[in-house]
A = this chain, B = another copy of it.
Amino acid sequence: MEDKRQIVDNLVLELRRGTLVLSVLSQLVAPQYGYSLVESLETKGIHIDPGTLYPLLRRLEKQELLQSEWETSGPKPRKYYILSVLGKEVYQELCNEWLELNKSIMAIL
């Protein structure tokens, strides 16, 4: 038998899970690199583990929702990501779906 705290935490985890992609896409209208994403989302109350983000970014790039570019002129090499055209479209649709879903949930609570 699990304890209550753990059950809740787990469910919250599941809740936030699906919103991660949405969060990430929303930030990439302007180019950002992984580490900066982690930080900027953190300030907005959305925690994402680097070990979660990096594979996510790669996956989104493979799906062609993102484009990336290495920036090597600075002191440390950084990989910048930004939304592709397809990414923008998908992001838009996802936003709409979120609003829909939100409406449904609010209605039943």
Pick the contact of A46 from B21, B63, B108 — CB < 8 Å?
B108
Name A63's closest neighbour in chain B (CB-CB): B7
Instruction: Tell me the number of copies of this protein.
Output: 2
- In Å, the complex CA distance between A100 and B19 comes to 13
Residue A105 CB within 8 A of the other chain: yes
Residue A64 CB within 8 A of the other chain: yes
- In Å, the complex CA distance between A11 and B13 comes to 16
Residues facing B in A55-105 (CB within 8 A) are 63-65, 86, 89-90, 93-95, 97-98, 100-105
Total count of chain A residues near the partner, CB < 8 A:
43
Inter-chain contact B97/A19, CB cutoff 8 Å: no
Q: Which residues of B contact A7 (CB under 8 A)?
A: 63, 65, 90
- In Å, the complex CA distance between A89 and B5 comes to 11
